Amino acid sequence: MTVDVTPTSVSGINIKSSQNRLLIKNGRVVNDDGIEDLDVYIEDGIIKQVGRNLIIPGGTRTIDATGKLVMPGGIDPHTHFELEMMGAKCADDFYKGTRAAVAGGTTCVIDFVLPQKGQSLLEAYNNWREKADGKVCCDYGLHVGVTWWSPAVKKEMQQLASEQYGVNSFKMFMAYKDAWMLDDYDLYCAMETCAELKALPQVHAENGHIIARNTEKLLAKGVTGPEGHQLSRDEEVEAEAVNRACVIANQAGAPLYIVHMMSKSAVRALQLARSRQRHALIGETLAATVGTDGSHYGNACFRHAAAHVLSPPLRPDPSTPQAMCEALADDHLQLIGSDNCTFHEKDKQLGKDNFAKIPNGVNGVEDRMAILWQKAVNTGIMDPCRFVAVTSSNAAKIFNIWPQKGRIAVNSDADIVVWDPKLERTISAANHKQAVDFNIFEGQHVVGSPQYVVVNGRVCLDDGELRVVEGFGKFLKTPVESPMIYDGQQSQEEAPHRPEFLEAPMRVTNGTPSPDL
Ligand code: URP
Ligand code: ZN
Ligand code: ZN
Ligand code: ZN
């Protein structure tokens, strides 16, 4: 049974009671750089002691983590809660979405403010804060979309990157022509501005013009179903944009973070760019592409096929999921998000007669951790330390909230997941916590899931029972000048020449950190 603490009962929690002290005992603590058998003592939301034979106050609640892994809570760097796009509104709001996140072991999300073309970025940011602040069950940060360009936008980026607003990442779209897409000149200006601010530019890398023309041709030929979505934007369309974005970033003197990389071709383009790039290049992939594939677009059932529509699309190449796990393990990709952007079937129906009108997006915020564990750790592709790196620590470092988040250490926030590597379950929309009426991982059996999830010191998943508090999370400022992004920048001359990336298969090394990081 799921027992939530509703907002009305929040006042009933004595936050200064022994409930505020917690000992997690006998577990294996996993950080991105090592595993050790240690106990963890928490007080007032902060990790106060890590070690053996700790001396702690009487009356402290103890969780016995024998046989379990004690890991930093997941950080999902890519969510869209309550987003309105393509004529529909996301099913998951900030309450249901973060509640589902916590159920799956994620204790922090970074959502995207997406202004309409012409809209003030600050106004959109304030709208997002209003939507989220009273609802989030865990801490959250914000990226802001740069969906149009003008001197006023540049000024607002400067304001947003200040201490007052706490935004260090800006997303630009190379797709969604006539909506959010920027041309190359505007992309250049936006990236240049990010570099000036020591913020991080992010791109949605797909060629929007090619997609638009391919869509016209497919519709004219009578291809109107969800299969047209992938046909209009194959791997090459993604890889071209990855390459172009890297070139523009290099010319603008900026680092670059490519969101939702969905194909082997895109990862190859990123690897190739790394051999010549002056600044950090970060690649993010998704639970969706690790956990399922593009074969679903051929499903005769519209509901089923449309539920898998996201951009860039899932790929028909069946070797993609494993290749993406390997790319994460080998540091060709640095992190995994969910891009959780869920639409009910009734909203997906907007594209019944035209695939280009199917609202884009899938679930993943709840299952991201378990899916990656199943596909990459249980298969031996990745060890638990790398799992922590790509689900949590790297996001904390990239967005400059490390070691407050993403680490089990004294003085870090007590965002912790006690992971039971033997816990078995079958993923299903029938029992998931997300609001949406479909799950793209339906029927998948996973071994390994959270048993306890601690959010800022509070046990919010308690031996499998969800006990979140609406509005318990806080807005988390992400300061500019992340050392992971801006330290150790290489000049063009110093950049390592790595010709092996040109021809080698994607799996080149095992766990060796790339010099780009
Ligand atoms: O299909 C997707 N990815 N929907 C969310 C919007 C975006 O492009 O991230
Ligand atoms: Zn996108
Ligand atoms: Zn179906
Ligand atoms: Zn997205």
Per-residue pLDDT of 273-331, as tens digits, reads 999 999 999 999 999 999 999 999 999 999 999 999 999 999 999 999 999 999 999 99
Helix (H) or strand (E) holding 238: helix 235-252
The conformation of residue 200, written as its DSSP 8-state character, comes to E
Name the closest ligand to CA 86.
1
DSSP bridge pairs for 447: 424
Q: Is 375 left (phi over 0), alpha (psi -120 to 50) or beta?
A: alpha
Q: Following CA atoms 418, 421, 425, 428 in sequence, which dihedral angle do they give, to the nearest 10 degrees?
A: 70
DSSP bridge pairs for 258: 203, 283
Pairwise CA distance, residues 167 & 176, whole Å: 23
Residue whose C-alpha is closest to residue 310's, from 296, 328, 322: 296
Pocket lining: 83 vs ligand 1, CB cutoff 6 Å: no
Q: Following CA atoms 125, 286, 429, 107 in sequence, which dihedral angle do they give, to the nearest 10 degrees?
A: -60
User: Ligand 4 mean position to 514 CA, how many Å?
Assistant: 25
Pairwise CA distance, residues 389 & 385, whole Å: 6
Pocket lining: 310 vs ligand 1, CB cutoff 6 Å: yes
Closest ligand 1 atom to 175 CA = 8
User: Ligand 1 mean position to 310 CA, how many Å?
Assistant: 6
User: Ligand 1 mean position to 69 CA, how many Å?
Assistant: 32
Helices (H), 360-511: 368-372, 384-388, 394-398, 483-486, 500-503
Pocket lining: 457 vs ligand 1, CB cutoff 6 Å: no
The CB density around residue 28, as the number of other CB atoms within 10 Å, is 18
Distance, first Cα to last Cα, the chain: 43
Pocket lining: 360 vs ligand 1, CB cutoff 6 Å: yes
What is the SS3 assignment for 168? coil
User: Ligand 1 mean position to 195 CA, how many Å?
Assistant: 24
Pairwise CA distance, residues 506 & 272, whole Å: 11
Asked if residue 73 lies in contact with residue 417, where contact means CB atoms within 8 angstroms, the answer is yes
**What Å distances lie between residue 442 and 290, 304, 430, 472, CA to CA?**
14, 11, 9, 30
User: Ligand 4 mean position to 22 CA, how many Å?
Assistant: 36
Name the closest ligand to CA 241.
2
Pairwise CA distance, residues 190 & 149, whole Å: 8
Helix (H) or strand (E) holding 348: helix 345-348
Atom 3 of ligand 1: nearest residue by CA position: 311
Closest ligand 1 atom to 173 CA = 8
Pocket lining: 106 vs ligand 1, CB cutoff 6 Å: no
Pocket lining: 339 vs ligand 1, CB cutoff 6 Å: yes
Sheet holding 200-204, edge to edge: 74-79, 106-113, 139-145, 169-173, 200-204, 256-258, 281-286, 335-337
User: Ligand 3 mean position to 307 CA, how many Å?
Assistant: 9
Atom 1 of ligand 1: nearest residue by CA position: 310
Mean pLDDT per 10-residue section of the chain, whose length is 517 residues = 42 51 98 98 98 96 98 98 97 98 98 97 98 98 98 98 98 97 98 98 98 98 98 98 98 98 98 96 98 97 98 98 98 98 98 98 98 98 98 98 98 98 98 98 98 98 98 98 81 35 34 32
For strands 34-43 and 46-51, give the pairing: antiparallel
Pocket lining: 361 vs ligand 1, CB cutoff 6 Å: yes
User: Ligand 3 mean position to 440 CA, how many Å?
Assistant: 11
Q: Is 437 left (phi over 0), alpha (psi -120 to 50) or beta?
A: alpha
ipTM of the complex: 0.95
Tokens found for residue 451: 């048993």
Tokens found for residue 160: 């947003």
DSSP bridge pairs for 425: 446
What is the SS3 assignment for 235? helix
Atom 9 of ligand 1: nearest residue by CA position: 339
Atom 7 of ligand 1: nearest residue by CA position: 311
Atom 5 of ligand 1: nearest residue by CA position: 361
Atom 8 of ligand 1: nearest residue by CA position: 311
What does the pLDDT read at residue 469? 97
Pocket lining: 78 vs ligand 1, CB cutoff 6 Å: no
Asked if residue 81 lies in contact with residue 97, where contact means CB atoms within 8 angstroms, the answer is yes
Q: What is the largest CA-CA distance in the chain?
A: 74
Pairwise CA distance, residues 358 & 355, whole Å: 5
User: Ligand 3 mean position to 305 CA, how many Å?
Assistant: 7
Pairwise CA distance, residues 413 & 4, whole Å: 22
What does the pLDDT read at residue 511? 35
What does the pLDDT read at residue 395? 98
pTM of the prediction? 0.93
Pocket lining: 440 vs ligand 1, CB cutoff 6 Å: no
| 429 Cα distance to chain centroid | 21
Residue whose C-alpha is closest to residue 211's, from 191, 181, 247: 181
**What Å distances lie between residue 111 and 82, 128, 193, 456, CA to CA?**
10, 9, 21, 19
Asked if residue 201 lies in contact with residue 172, where contact means CB atoms within 8 angstroms, the answer is yes
Q: Can the peptide bond before residue 403 be classed as cis, meaning omega within 30 degrees of 0? A: yes
Closest ligand 1 atom to 171 CA = 9
Pairwise CA distance, residues 479 & 141, whole Å: 11
